[in-house]
Structures are given as C-alpha cells and as structure tokens.
Structure 1
C-alpha cells in the first residue's frame, strides 16, 4: 500500500501535470477559456514548482589574496626559482574568481604572483559555447648572472668607457680597469600582453587574437677589433606584435577553414657601437660597430580541411608565408672610409610554402593504418649582391655574394598498427626525409628509417612496451665550403650534413596494483655513427633511465618520487696540418635528477594542509684530448638542491593563510672562466669569473579571502 500513498504535495503536482498534458492535446477552439494564459494563478505557490537542480548559479566563487615575501636576491640566478630577482621585501597578488548570472554569462579572473617578474594575470568573459573575450598578461624572466664586471656603460646604441680611461696594448696595461669596473646583470625580461575573442555559431567558429611582447635586458656580445676582443653586455630593447585570425566552418563529417597571421618586429637599437679599450694595433680602430637584429615583418595565410567517416579520416593543409625586411644598411666600417655598398637597403624577402596530407583509417577491427606527406619549400627572393667584407671592422678584404640558402624538404610516413589480442598490439612504420639545399656543402640529403613498437599487458596491473628504430642518412657528393676566408679541410664533415647510422632502443614498464600505487620505469639507448667523417664528430652514444613512484596512503596523504639519469659519450677527430686526423677528443657528459614530494591534507579538522618538495640535479662534463699525450680539461659542472615547503591553514570558510618557504643551494664551475679576472687574458677583456656558488632563501606569506 505504501507505493500507492502519496503526500498532498505530490498529488497536487501529479494532477497539475495531467491537466497540462490534457490541455496540450485540445485544439485552440475547444480549449478556449481553459488555456494557461487564462488560468487563475493567484492562489498557486509557484516557488514549490521550481526545479532546484535546473537553476543556474549566480554566485561569485573563488578567492582573492595578497602576499608579502622576503626574497634573497643577492645572486639573481635564484630568481629563476623564486620568480623575482628583487632583494628584500616584495608584494604580490593572487586571484581565482568565477562570476555567473542567470543567463549563463560568466567571467573568470585569475592572477598568479602578480607583481613578480614571472607573474601573470588573465580575464575571460562571455557565454560558454557562444562567445568569449580574453585579456591576459604574463611575465617571463630568465636570470643568468649579476656577477659580470665591465668598465662599459650603455648610452643608446653606444657602449662607452669612462672619461678618464687610458687604453693599453694589453689588459694588464689598462691602469683604470679595476677602478672602473661595475657589475652588470645579464638577464632577459619578457612581458606578454594578449587580447583575444572567439565566437561560435551554428556551423562556424571565428577567432581573433592579438599579442604584444616586450623584451628588455642584457646579453653577452663579443666585440672584436683585429686580435683584441672585449666581452660586452649588449642591451636588448625590442618588441613583437602579432595579429592572428581564424574562420572555420563545420558539417556532419567535415571541417574546413582558413587562418592568417601578421607579425612585426621592432628593435629600439640600430647597432651596437663600442669604444675600444685597447691601443689600436695599427691604423685608427678606436671604435667598433656591429649590426643587431633589424626591424622586419612577416605574414602567413593557411587553409585547412578535415573529412572523415566510418573510421577513416583525411587531413589537408596548405600555407604560404612571407618574411621581409628593408632597413637601411650600416656602413661597412666606421674606421676610415667605408667601401661603397651595392644599394642602400637589402630589400630582403623569403617566401615559404607548406603542404601536408594525412590519412588514418581502420581497415579491419584488428588493423589500422596511417600515412602522411609533408612538403616545405623555402625560397629566398633576396637579390644576390657583391657585399664588401671588412674583417673585425678593421680592414677590407674584397667582396662576397650573399648566399641564398634555399631549402626544399619532403617527408613521408607510413605506419600500421595490428592488435593481436585485447592486451597485445604491434605498431610499425617507415619514415623518409628528403632535403634539397642551395649554398651548402651538400645539395641533397636524405634519411630513411623503420621503427617497431610492441605493447603487451600480461595482466591488469602490468604493462610492458618495447620500441626500436633504425635510420640511415646519406646524400650527394660532399664539397668543402668555399664561402669562408680559408678553405675547409676536405675531410671535415658538418654533423648535420654528414652520413650517419642511427639506432635507438627503448623499454618501458608500468606496475599499478591499485589506484593508490603506481610505478613506471623507462630505459633507453641511442647510437649515432658518422660513418664517412674523417674530421669532425664521429660517434655519439646516449644511455639513460627514469623511474617514478606514486603512492596514495589515504585520501589525505600522498607521496611521489622520481629519479632520472643520462650518460652521453661523444668522439671527435681533428687535424692541425690540414690533412688526416692527428688529434682526438672524447667528451663524457652525465646528468642526474632526483625528486620527492609529500602532501598531507585535512589536518586539524580539515583546516590545515602541508606539503614538501625536494629536488636535486647534477650535470657534469669531462673532456679529454689526445695528441701524442692525453690532456684533460678542467671541471665543468653544476649542482642544485631545492626545497619547497608550504603550510595552508583555513581559519574559517572565508579566510585562510599560506606560508611558502624556498631554499636553494646552487654551485657551478666552468674551467674556461673559473677564477678569471678582468685582466687574466692579455688580449681579451673578460667579465671576470662567472661561476656561481650560493645558498638562498625565500619566505612568503599570503592571506586569501574565499567568496
């Protein structure tokens, strides 16, 4: 009987639904006076009829936060970990907010360490599935060192020495060198701003995206005047603007559209011009000048199409790009009369054509195949001119024609996958890569290879995989380069153009007895044998492994760990007499990466969360040269210990606080500049030693309000 008894509210709702159903079957004539529009609803409690599961949330959810931190920026390299090279106190903002209304319109706001050099912020608003507008910012910074020392100071395009500077024939004779040297920070800051919009219609989708990027910083540049050289901190101040648009149409089994992009690069510097710190060797070479990347622009337009049905799919793509620059030439030299230039500007232009065709399909329930063809053509349309050649801005050596460096590349791939059982499949393929060059040591270069990958799952908890590939590269007759001041050794081969036999093997295993435990391992070995190289790189072998472990003790406590190690051994042959090899070098490189993390949540009545990460990395290289006797280069290594700990405590549903602590111990050494002083090399003005050895801390406090 209980199934037949209903509450009064349920009876009322049932009768109402029946009345609506009956009324909907009546024609307008017979239902006159009985329609919903004429119904007396004054006594009806409409709030009882609302579908609470169907309501659209209009709440604002998320959190906003503000933080302050102490950062040890004595060595700017630590900024690659902490996100800023500021020394001392620094503030930042955090946010993650979602705002919605009843119509489905929503706005998402996010900020991460906004106020740091590596901070970011974004805002997106719109209706999902209809349109969206996005506004974003991201800072990207890379810190090399702030320990470089130089007597030069920048002023626009000029790098000048102090007014009281007294040049010397050698660095040891520069009386004001030690008193004039000031620290220079070698770093790069990128600030990216983007504005985008997307609209989705019933059978089409349109996108528009604009990005503006500004770069500022200093990079290493070597300024040469004959036999003397100076390490300079070249200023970087440039910007790039990109505007992209896409329009796609879609149907039941097809998709087609076009996309276009316009880009422009602007450099605030026209050249780098530096004052010589040395007494001129001969003549009057008191300053040097070198070109920097010049203003240029590019555009690209492409068409894409995809069709598919019954397990078969075809992708087609074609595109055209043009790169151009037409800035005025610099004079061939600023030391004495400059040789005449063939024309005022380069009027450079490079066109590129791309086409690709891809197919994938299932032939039988067990067999599927894939095929692809890619074509790329780089055509340099820049006029070839007789350009004057001035060695290190000092003396004229004649003219040379600017090379074209055209390239045509064709790639083809065919692969098949066969599933023997539900737990075993074999994937095999053939790859072919053909290149045609102009103005290189080889006109054609082609490489072909095969690979096979076997996957086997012997049980629910085990998964095994083995992959092997073999490639062979060869090409047309090798011709020694004639574009340099002195001819190359005819036995020398450039590694990217030389004949090569490549072999690679990989073994993978995964063990997952439950959702709480997962272990994966991977072993790999590769060998590159440069079979026809008498002078140059002759052999490279790389071996390594990685292991990762994940363990979930319970819903609150989790643990992760990994270890990765790689070894790379390479051999090189050289000659001092322009003949057969008479010296040999071996380079042994090793790298290790170890890490572990633990996270404990829901402590103290689900108010406290704790986390701890530890990472260790080590890389080193040993070089040994044999020429009658064996000599070994000095130390070349870097090691880093990194600890990241946090505690997040929630005082209430609205308020929480988070404490972050970072610690990093870093050390590196380069035998070529370890212990170097500004005047250590008579004809080279260096930055002094750039080796780093520091221990740095970061302590941050963030207060968050949850909406």
Structure 2
C-alpha cells in the first residue's frame, strides 16, 4: 500500500516536466525518481557486495544542463543514486572549445561479509581480548586442547563485526585551450578507503602444536592523492606533449597489534602474548613524460613517448618481535630507504607502402632500477617464539624489458583483409630464479566479407618463451642467505619452475562470425582457444588451457516485437605437479602428487521487447542465469612415505545467479514516462571453503583447535524488487 501511495504522489506532479524559461539561457534535463520496495531473504553480504539498494524513495539519475543562447557557455550537473553508499555527483562548467572545470564525487562500497564475529575489542590498530577469555583459553590448551571449553569460550564471547570498506573519491579537473594548437589539462584526486577487512596472521599457542592461524579485523584507513598535469601543442604535421603524474599514499595505521588468544604472558619457546604485523607503508611516486608525433611523409607517422619515474618509501621498521623474552640482534637500519627509478620508452611507426599495404613497427623499452639498499639481518624471529641465527638479506628485485614488433596489413581484394606480425620480448631480471627470458611470437589474422550481410574473422598467435638459465640457488638463494640456509631447511626444489619464468609454448585462436541474413535478424558467434604448455617443468604449473564460445541472436519479429537471446560457455583447465617433502628424508619421487583444476562458467540469457500499445505502452522481459563450477582433482603419483600425506579431491564449488527483470513503461507524453518494474535475483553459493566458517573450527578440523577465525561467509540470497518510477526530460 505504501508503494502505491508513494507512486501516486510522484505521478501527481506534472510540474516536474515543465521547461524552464530563462531570458539568456537554455535549460535541458532528464531524470528518473520513484519508490522501491525489496522483499525476500537478502541479508547476505553478496547482495550488496559492490552496491547499495535501499527500500523507499529513490532518485536513480538526474541530469541538468544550462547553455547560453549563443551556445558558448555551459553548465552541467549529473547525479546518480544520491544519498546511497554508491552515489555519484558530477559538476561541469566552461566555455566550448576554450576551458572547462569539472568536479566529481564518487562512492563505492565493498562488503566482505556481514556474518563476521570476533573475540577482539579495543582500538582499530590495537586489538585486545578480555583477560578472563585469554586465561580460560590458555588453560584449555594445556597440555592438550580441551575442545569443549575452547568452543564454548570462543562462541560465547565472539561479537559481531562489520567487515566492509567504503571508498570515497573526490576529483577536481580543469582544461584550457588558449589557441587551437594548445591543450592544457590538470586534475587532482583524493581517494579515501576506510573500513575493516579480514586479515590472516600466524601465532604460537600454549602447546607445542606448531603455528596456528588467527584471523583479524584489519583496520583500513588509506588516503591516496593523485595529481596529473599535461600540456600539449599540435601543429599541422607534428605534436608534442609534456606530462606529470604524482601519487602520494598514506595509511593512517602503520601496524596492527593484537592479543594472542591463547597466551597471557610471553614465553621463550611457546610464543608471545601479543602479535604485531606491518600494514601498507606510506609511499610516494612521481612520473614525468615527454611524448610527440611527426608526419614524416604523407603516409608515414612516427609516435614516441619517454617517461621517467621515481618511487620512494622510507617507513620506519618495526622491532623484530613483541616477545620480551627473546633477544634478537639490532636492526641493520631504522628504515627501508626504498628507492626505485623507472624508465619507459615507447616508439611506433605507421606507414602505408601501397594503397592496399600498411606497415606498423613498434619498440618498447622499460626499466625498473631498484636502488633500495640490500642489508644483512644477522638473525630473524620465527613466529615470535625463537631466534634463528642465520644471516638474511633483503633483495632489490629489478628488471629490464625490450619489446619489439612488426605488423603488415594487406587487402588483396575489397572483401578480404589479411594481417601478419612478428613480436619479440626479452626480460633481463635481477634476483629472480631465471636471469633472462626471450619470447618470439608470430600472428596472423584474416577478415572476409564475401557479401554485405556476412563477416568472418579469424586470428592465430603462436609464441615460444625460453629462459637462458634457471637456477634459484644461484640467483636468489645465495643472495638471500649469504651464509647458507638454516640447518635442516630444505631449499627450493631445483626442478620447480615458476609460471612467469618457465619455458612456455603458447597458442591463441579467435574466431568471429556476424550474420544478418535479413534485415530484422542479427546473429553473432564467437570462439576463443588458449593453450599454454610449460616445457621441462618438474614441479609447478605444467599446462594452462581455456576455451570459450558464445552466440548472440537478435530478431525483430515486427515493428512492435523484438526477441534476443545469448549463450556463453567458458572453460579453464590447468594442471600442476608438486612434491610433499616433509624433510630431507621425504624428498623422493614417491611423494609426488598432481592436481587438475577446472572452472566452468555457463551464461544464458533471453528476453523480449513488446510495444503493447504503439507509442504508449511498452513491455520488456529479460531473464539470465550464470552457473559457475570449480573442481580440484588431486592424486598421488607414487606410494607416499611422508606420514599423514594424502592427495585427495576437494569438494566441488558451485554458484548460480538468476536474474529476472520485467518493466512496463507507460508514456504519459513525449517527455514523461511512468514505469512499473520488477526484478528477481537469486544467488546460490556452495563453497566448502566458506560455507561452514565459524570463529572456532576445531569441530571440523582438529588441526584448527588453537586457531581463531572471523566466521566470514557469503551466504545465498533471494530478493524481489518492486519499483514505481517516473522519468522525464525537457
């Protein structure tokens, strides 16, 4: 009833479409407002993960524009979903062809979960647990876990917590064109991200069970300042531009400190009473650029860009431990003194050798020069419970990249277009497992339009990447541990290959067909295939393949009826091989295992547009469903010798999203439309990783007896939206 009353009030306002009559200006505008009600079980965080849809009165959009009679000056206001957590406002003003000023305010929520519960209290970056709760949990883990006491204590004392972020961005921009050749632009952006999100950390408990997990509510209070400026001059045959981009990042919280739920005092062997973890550090980045273009000849154009950047980060180091009973050596420096310089050079030459032959040559050079000091740390603290007296060095990872390519286009006849190209990419890396990688690629494409209602397109790419030398110990391990790795520690397996460095053969195929057999019908079909085969891989990803196919059909049955439908299927399959070593004695092929991972997504949609009463009443119906499934199949490749090692299949994951939309539009006049709409959404989530999450998971896994979680889930939901709105324009 409230919905109908509200709609009646809205429709009762014919003045909403009256044109403003100003002596010296023309005013134009459009918008939609109404009343909305939401029903169903929509309490899941997934329902409003990146949006805000409240019941009640709403303003979907509003645009107001003002011009002077000579159409020289303009003013414009755009508003989307005001007073909601995903609202947007834009204000523009200026003089056509001369200058403009724009301000934008944008908000975007991100809801992680609304089922979270936590034992922690206190300030945002200093989390505490009531002393009675900690002492009870400490007693319950001595000498072995008393699961009943832990379960009762955790669940009775865990309180609800909001796990969400809110992003707010303000942007001010200006452009100025004093003469037809000059263009000057400036913008300043200020983004603030604030809220709480899940954060995983390790602890030691009051027994010798090893490391355990504590999931914390991480405070997020980021502010990013973004400054951009550019001046460009364009002449008849050439242009030149200079630019600057600056970014300043500030985190209001430098670190996160928390109580150990299972320890009230420090222990020299069983861990600290409190834990601490660094949060993203403050940093600053500057980039200056010079770009230009030149028409070398009538059919030849050269374009180039050179940019230089310098990034700095000098956040003070945290102490090595919070444990008062441990005495590690002093830090080698008070802060990082992080310094990275970047260089980018990008050149492109376009030319037409013949009326039907074009040539494009490209070269790109990028450099990341890491001048951060590499310091030796005499020792390090492991899980706040022991000092490991082994030298470790931080690594200043750097690289140089060269990328070159040549593409040729040829139109032998008017209905056929052919393209072919060659590409080369080289990476020279410092402090990575492989020192050099070279990749050669060849590609080809053909477009055929045999008749004006048929387009066929096919493309193929093949590439080979090979490393020069792959040796983790030589390029990484010996630098990280200058005095050798700790006794009893297994180094990285020499047959492990990381996917971004491994030898790889890549194949890519793309097909497209567009068909218009007769004027009211359009059919479009696509197919894509990708195959990445990683060569000579002992352990790691051995293959990564995917394919997709899609079909879209639009058919206008009559001037009043149109049908549309679509279907897409995507499949992703990868294979991995690894070894469960569990110590030097287990480093045998008997403990090898393999895993096959498959993700499949099917999306189907269909709908109809009907002009029920020509130029008066329209009906739109649309339905879509997306189904995603995930599979992980694991198997041993030998007879395992490591105790407790099993390679087994994970439960399948599946989620479905149903959407049904119906809208009935009644045109009250040329510029006024009333709309009654209904939307149905059902999200079904089946994920063994999160479906049963609670603050204490010992009842499911005894290995989690001394771990604490947030119990963050994203349950299924079902929602019904009913809205009555009025849209106008003038």
Which TM bucket (shorter chain)?
A: 0.7 to 0.9
Partner of 1:624: 633
Q: 1:259 to 1:598 in 2, by over 3 A?
A: farther
Which digits, 9 at most, give the CA deviation of each residue in 1:518-571, with x for residues without a partner?
111111222111111011111222122111122334555443322110122221
Which digits, 9 at most, give the CA deviation of each residue in 1:117-157, with x for residues without a partner?
22211111112211111111112223332122222235131
**SS state of the match for residue 176, structure 1?**
helix
Partner of 1:345: 335
Shift of 1:207: 0.4
Query: What TM-score, normalized by structure 2, do the two folds share?
Result: 0.84
Shift of 1:513: 3.0
Shift of 1:660: 3.9
Q: Which moved more, 1:326-335 or 1:691-700?
A: 691-700
Partner of 1:20: none
Of residues 413, 425, 442, the one that matches 1:450 is 442
Partner of 2:174: 197
Please give the residue correspondences for 1:276-315 in structure 2 after superposition, counting only pairs within 5 Å.
276-279=260-263, 282-283=269-270, 285-308=272-295, 309-315=297-303
Distance in 1 (CA, whole Å) between partners of 2:729 and 2:137 is: 64
Report which of the two structures shows the higher radius of gyration computed on alpha carbons.
1
Q: 1:351 to 1:118 in 2, by over 3 A?
A: same
Q: Which moved more, 1:673-682 or 1:135-144?
A: 673-682
1:532 aligns with 2:541: no
Partner of 1:133: 101
Please give the residue correspondences for 1:388-399 in structure 2 after superposition, counting only pairs within 5 Å.
388-398=379-389, 399=391
Partner of 1:694: 717
Q: 1:218 to 1:597 in 2, by over 3 A?
A: farther
Partner of 2:66: 99
Structure 1 portions without partners, runs of 5+: 1-55
Distance in 2 (CA, whole Å) between partners of 1:64 and 1:691 is: 34
Distance in 2 (CA, whole Å) between partners of 1:158 and 1:356 is: 47
CA contact (8 A) 2:603 2:624 kept: yes
Q: 1:350 to 1:186 in 2, by over 3 A?
A: same
Q: 1:698 to 1:158 in 2, by over 3 A?
A: farther
Of residues 576, 591, 598, the one that matches 1:572 is 576
**SS state of the match for residue 167, structure 1?**
helix
Of residues 596, 615, 618, the one that matches 2:606 is 596
Partner of 2:6: none
Of residues 159, 164, 174, the one that matches 1:182 is 159
Of residues 119, 129, 137, the one that matches 1:167 is 137
Distance in 2 (CA, whole Å) between partners of 1:231 and 1:385 is: 31
Distance in 1 (CA, whole Å) between partners of 2:659 and 2:407 is: 43
Partner of 1:523: 527
Partner of 1:222: 200
1:74 aligns with 2:43: yes
Distance in 1 (CA, whole Å) between partners of 2:384 and 2:168 is: 35
CA contact (8 A) 2:509 2:529 kept: yes
Partner of 1:435: 427
1:112 aligns with 2:80: yes
Partner of 2:26: 59
Shift of 1:656: 4.1
Partner of 1:30: none
Partner of 1:321: 309
Distance in 1 (CA, whole Å) between partners of 2:233 and 2:438 is: 38
CA contact (8 A) 1:125 1:134 kept: yes
Distance in 2 (CA, whole Å) between partners of 1:307 and 1:397 is: 61
1:212 aligns with 2:190: yes
CA contact (8 A) 2:108 2:168 kept: yes
CA contact (8 A) 2:66 2:74 kept: yes
Q: Which moved more, 1:556-565 or 1:308-317?
A: 556-565
Distance in 1 (CA, whole Å) between partners of 2:516 and 2:531 is: 32
Which digits, 9 at most, give the CA deviation of each residue in 1:86-117, with x for residues without a partner?
5x546446211221112321112111112222
Q: 1:677 to 1:156 in 2, by over 3 A?
A: closer
CA contact (8 A) 2:271 2:383 kept: no
1:640 aligns with 2:657: yes
Distance in 1 (CA, whole Å) between partners of 2:671 and 2:406 is: 58
Distance in 2 (CA, whole Å) between partners of 1:531 and 1:511 is: 40
Please give the residue correspondences for 1:371-450 in structure 2 after superposition, counting only pairs within 5 Å.
371-387=361-377, 388-398=379-389, 399-450=391-442
Shift of 1:639: 1.2
Q: Which moved more, 1:222-231 or 1:664-673?
A: 664-673
Shift of 1:593: 1.5
Q: Which moved more, 1:187-196 or 1:140-149?
A: 140-149
Q: Which moved more, 1:590-599 or 1:280-289?
A: 280-289
CA contact (8 A) 1:78 1:85 kept: no
Of residues 680, 689, 708, the one that matches 1:663 is 680
Structure number with greater CO (CA < 8 Å, separation at least 6) is: 2
Q: 1:125 to 1:557 in 2, by over 3 A?
A: farther
Q: 1:208 to 1:654 in 2, by over 3 A?
A: same
Q: 1:605 to 1:450 in 2, by over 3 A?
A: closer
Partner of 1:4: none
Which digits, 9 at most, give the CA deviation of each residue in 1:8-57, with x for residues without a partner?
xxxxxxxxxxxxxxxxxxxxxxxxxxxxxxxxxxxxxxxxxxxxxxxx99
Distance in 1 (CA, whole Å) between partners of 2:245 and 2:519 is: 46
Distance in 2 (CA, whole Å) between partners of 1:515 and 1:662 is: 32
Shift of 1:646: 3.0
**SS state of the match for residue 432, structure 2?**
coil
Shift of 1:264: 0.7
Structure 2 portions without partners, runs of 5+: 1-22, 205-210, 581-585, 640-646, 698-703
Distance in 1 (CA, whole Å) between partners of 2:493 and 2:549 is: 39
Q: Which moved more, 1:653-662 or 1:665-674?
A: 653-662
Distance in 2 (CA, whole Å) between partners of 1:661 and 1:91 is: 15
Partner of 1:23: none
Distance in 1 (CA, whole Å) between partners of 2:615 and 2:283 is: 57
Q: 1:207 to 1:405 in 2, by over 3 A?
A: same
Q: Which moved more, 1:334-343 or 1:100-109?
A: 334-343
Q: Which moved more, 1:255-264 or 1:628-637?
A: 628-637
Which digits, 9 at most, give the CA deviation of each residue in 1:581-634, with x for residues without a partner?
721111122111122343345x55634443333221111111111115973211
Aligned CA RMSD, in angstroms, stands at 2.4
Please give the residue correspondences for 1:549-568 in structure 2 after superposition, counting only pairs within 5 Å.
549-554=553-558, 557-568=561-572
Q: 1:676 to 1:122 in 2, by over 3 A?
A: closer
Partner of 1:264: 248
Query: What TM-score, normalized by structure 1, do the two folds share?
Result: 0.87
CA contact (8 A) 2:332 2:376 kept: yes
Partner of 2:52: 84
CA contact (8 A) 1:136 1:195 kept: yes
Partner of 1:29: none
